[in-house]
Amino acid sequence: MSTSVQDAFKDFNIPAELCLACKAVRRLCGRPQCPILVKAEAIYKVKPLISSTLFSGSSPPGVFVGKLGYPKVSIGPLVPPITGSTEIFDLPEGWLGKSFDDIVGYRYKLIRGRSKVDINEAKNPGKLLSTLQELAMSPKHIDAELVLERRPDERLILSDESQPFGPSAPLKQFKPSSISTDKRVERAYYDKDLTASEAVFALFKDGVEVSRLQKAFSLGMFGSKDKRKIVPTRWSITAVDSNVSLQLIERIKHHETISKFRVFYFANLDNRFAIILAPELWRYEMQEAWFPNTTWNVNEQEPAIEGDFETYFGRTTYAKIHGSYYAARLAIAERLNSIRRQASALVLREIHPGYILPIGVWNIRETVRAALAKKPSQHETFKQAFVAALSNLTIREKDWKKKSHMLKEWSMQSRLKDYI
Amino acid sequence: MVFVAKTKTPNEWKIVAQTIQSLVEEASFEGTAEGITFRAMDPSHVALIDLTWPNAGFEKYDCDKQHKLTVRVEDFVKLLRRAGPKDSVTIQAGDDDMLTLKFQNGYKREFQIHLIESTYSPTPLPKLSFDSKMVLKESAFEEILNDVQTISDHITLEATKDKIIFTGKSDSGSASIPIEKGNDALESMEVGKESKATYSLQYLLNIVKAAGGATEKVVCEYSSKMPLKMEFALGETGGRINFYLAPRIEEK
């Protein structure tokens, strides 16, 4: 989804006559906040700042790899026309509790230069790629100069997987000031015997933020030299979530199971998450209910529920609900591993109309993390746990059960230990 | 310390390994002077496999004391896939935490894999008595399961004095397959008390497809709302794979 204000009607799939009658006042489309206004205001605020081809500011640091034209993709730095501590603009780990206005505001300020390269350039990086790789190694903002071929367009790229990306134009020149690198990331970069997945996991264990790993991964900074590749930002987000969680799950399988059912809850940006951890061996499922008038359920009258699950043995196909499945799996696996316990995990997510824009799976990762950091309610039986989980949700019991493999199992399948 | 077990062909090992692979990631075989046994429950504790493979089932069998041989099933299956249909298979273990597989038909091929430390705890068998017992033709049983799966993800077995009915039901419709006493598909049937229970098809199909290759018939035993026991013969010298499956229960 990519848009300017002019084609916002089309993007949000709202009939123009509804918008005309509403003008962001009467909430006729059912959303509590007008998505077109959120974007328009962000554009309006940033417009005077982007009417040029020359920018100097502090990169958070940020980079972007497009997927159009793959395997020849656009890469480039993100630089806002602002100097100072801009880290938060590209650090989703700090966005929990921020509003749509805040997040879209951060993203619109990040001007993106783009230049086409082949994904295999990571095996032997040219000047721009090397500079971007160095930029991605920095733990803090870097002052830089960005020269573009023309004035950036006023577009915002929205996707379920990645955070929004803002105005862009072909890159002429990018000159960062001297970069001090995070030595941990730098070591992994130069270690060409480590596989990409070993490098990512080692850095994750060392406390490097997932969003920074995703940036470095997208620029093909890890792995044996002949295997390095540039990876579009969208794919790299899920690749890192998936890879790190898989390695955590292998560890979890060696831990004792929890002793009771635990139910967690957290809401953010009109997304509600109820999580049930069961005292069983590892299994995982996520179900998402998109309410009418949310991005992926515009025309229906009823919430649309979709999800996917994996058994103890994992999965071999890509999850039906894409990146959100892996983002939540990472948050769960991370928590279980940190408390050195094993459990079956079910994530129930409700997306209500206040979730006016798709802003990326970081929202899922961070909200599930926040939910699991809270004290859970504990229950002896599945039935009690499910009642507790439902108390914060609006979808009815039978509708969840119709879709959820694990809910069906828990309520219908007996265990052999009951007969021993 | 010696453990050597040789079979004329890889068939039985392939069936054993594939059956186990449908339930667990790692397998701990117990080798004793009497033969090889294996028992494990799946991670959800819904199904259990209990394998008995007496020494008479091997062309050569030598075991001086109790051996616990734990392997990653995936690695084990991968190696066994390399064995041709006429290869003899010798499985051997010593003091070095390695398991050796030798395939021979003309020339010899030898593979070694690491034994791993077992993470599974001992698995007791469920205590059961059965009201109904059927001996079904394996191929017919597999067909029945496949038939019902087109409609439902679970199957109900209803045994009366003179027939057994397999049914499946879902939002999309229903399936019903009655088999009467005397039908070729049903070799024998004893019903002490009429029995009705429902089981997950996913588990049943996995196991019947894997273990069914070893035998032409399956012995099924169960009681109302109680676990199902299935027995598959392994070779002709008393080897068997027993499979237990917990029933699905009606929601209260």
pLDDT for A25 equals: 63
Nearest by CB to residue B43, choosing from A312, A414, A419, is A312
Which residues of chain B does A414 touch, with a Cβ-Cβ cutoff of 8 Å? 46, 246-249
Chain B residues 28-47 with a CB less than 8 Å from chain A? 41-47
Q: What is the pLDDT of residue A223?
A: 95
Least Cα separation, residue B32 to chain A (angstroms): 25
Mean pLDDT, to the nearest integer, of A104-131? 94
Is residue A176 within a helix (H) or strand (E), and if so which, with residue range?
strand A168-176
- pLDDT value, residue A246: 98
Gap between the Cα atoms of A244 and A217, Å rounded = 12
Set of chain A residues whose Cβ sits within 8 Å of the Cβ of B46: 413-416
Q: Is B48 on the interface with A (CB under 8 A)?
A: yes
pLDDT digits (tens, 9 = 90+) for A336-385: 999 999 999 999 999 998 898 888 999 999 999 999 999 999 999 999 99
Read off the amino acid at residue A130. S
Q: How many CB atoms lie within 10 A of CB A198?
A: 16
Residues of A in contact with B41 (CB under 8 A): 416
Kindly report the number of other CB atoms within 10 A of residue A62's CB atom. Answer: 28
What integer pLDDT is reported at residue B25 of this predicted model? Answer: 85
Q: Which residue of B has its CA nearest to A407?
A: B251
pLDDT (tens digit, 9 = 90+) per residue, A230-260?
999 999 999 999 999 999 999 999 898 898 9
pLDDT reported for residue B118: 78
Q: Give residue A90's pLDDT band: very low, low, confident or very high (50, 70, 90).
A: very high
pLDDT tier, B138 (very low <50, low <70, confident <90, very high otherwise) = very high
Percent over 90 (pLDDT), chain A: 72
CB < 8 Å to B251, chain A: 411-412
A41-64: pLDDT as tens digits:
666 667 777 778 999 999 999 999
Q: Mean pLDDT, to the nearest integer, of B137-156? A: 95
The domains located in chain B, with CATH, are 3-114 (3.10.150.10), 132-245 (3.10.150.10)
pLDDT tens across A226-235, in order?
A: 999 999 999 9
From chain B, pick out residues whose CB is under 8 angstroms from the CB of A282. 43
> What distance in Å separates residue A402's CA from the closest CA in chain B?
10
Q: Is the model more confident about A396 or about A159?
A: A396
pLDDT at A296 over 80: no
Token pair 């960005």 in the structure block, residue:
A146
Residue A341 CB-density burial (10 A; 0-12 exposed, 13-18 middle, 19+ buried): middle
Q: Could you identify the residue written with the tokens 């039935």?
A: A383
Q: Is the pLDDT of residue B185 over 70?
A: yes
In three-state secondary structure terms, A354 is coil
Q: Is B127 on the interface with A (CB under 8 A)?
A: yes
Could you give the CA distance from residue A304 to residue A300 in angstroms, rounded to a whole number?
Answer: 8
Terminal CA-CA length for chain A: 55
Rounded to a whole number of angstroms, the distance from the CA of A181 to the nearest CA of chain B is: 41
Q: Do A414 and B251 touch (CB under 8 A)?
A: no
Give the pair of three-digit tokens for residue A5: 């204000």
User: Region B108-134: what's the mean pLDDT?
Assistant: 90
Side-chain half-sphere CA neighbours of B2 within 13 A? 9
Greater model confidence, B140 or A7: B140
Closest chain A C-alpha to B183 CA, distance in angstroms: 32
Residue corresponding to tokens 């105005």: A167
What does the block give as tokens for A182?
A: 């995070």
What pTM value is reported for the model? 0.82
* B226 close to A (CB below 8 A): yes
For the cut 60, the answer to whether the pLDDT of residue A86 exceeds it is yes
User: For residue A283, which residues of chain B lie inside 8 Å, CB to CB?
Assistant: 43-44
For residue B46, give the nearest of A253, A411, A415 by CB distance: A415
What pLDDT is stored for residue A420 in this prediction?
83
Does residue A2 surpass a pLDDT of 50? Answer: no
For the stretch B208-231, pLDDT in tens is 999 988 789 999 999 999 999 999
The two three-digit tokens of residue A192, written as one number: 């060409």
Name the nearest CA neighbour of A161 among A244, A241, A268, A71.
A241
How many residue pairs from chains A and B have C-beta atoms closer than 8 A? 60
Crossing angle for the helix pair A183-190 and A210-218, to the nearest 10 degrees: 30
Residue A53 · residue A147 · CB < 8 Å: yes
Q: How confident is the model at residue A24 (pLDDT cuts 50, 70, 90)?
A: low
By the 10 Å C-beta count (0-12 exposed, 13-18 middle, 19+ buried), A88 is classed as: middle
One-character DSSP codes across chain B: --EEEEESSSHHHHHHHHHHHTT-SEEEEEEETTEEEEEEE-TTSSEEEEEEEEGGGSSEEEESS-EEEEEEHHHHHHHHHTS-TT-EEEEEE-SSSEEEEEEEESEEEEEEEE-----PPP-PPP----SEEEEEEHHHHHHHHHHHHTT-SEEEEEE-SSEEEEEEEETTEEEEEEEETT-TTEEEEEESS-EEEEEEHHHHHHHHHHHGGG-SEEEEEE-TTS-EEEEEEETTTTEEEEEEEPPB----
CB contacts of A418 in chain B (<8 Å) are 246
> B116 in contact with A at a CB cutoff of 8 Å?
no
- B247 to chain A, any CB pair closer than 8 A? The answer is yes
pLDDT digits (tens, 9 = 90+) for A207-222: 999 999 999 999 999 9
The strands making up B26-32's β-sheet, listed across from edge to edge, are: B67-72, B26-32, B35-41, B47-54, B239-245, B228-234, B217-222, B132-137, B186-191
Question: Which residues does chain A have within 8 Å of residue B244's beta carbon, measured at their own beta carbons?
Answer: 416
Amino acid A116: pLDDT = 97
- The pLDDT of B28-47, averaged and rounded, is 93
User: What pLDDT is recorded for position A19?
Assistant: 67
pLDDT of residue A53: 92
Pairing, β B163-170 against β B217-222: unpaired
At A143, which helix (H) or strand (E)? strand A142-148
Percentage of chain B lying above the pLDDT 70 cut: 98
Contact flag B248-A419 (C-beta cutoff 8 Å): no
Write down the pLDDT at residue A178: 87
Average pLDDT over chain A, rounded to whole? 90
Interface of B with A in 191-220 (CB under 8 A): 200
Query: Which pLDDT belongs to residue A4?
Result: 45
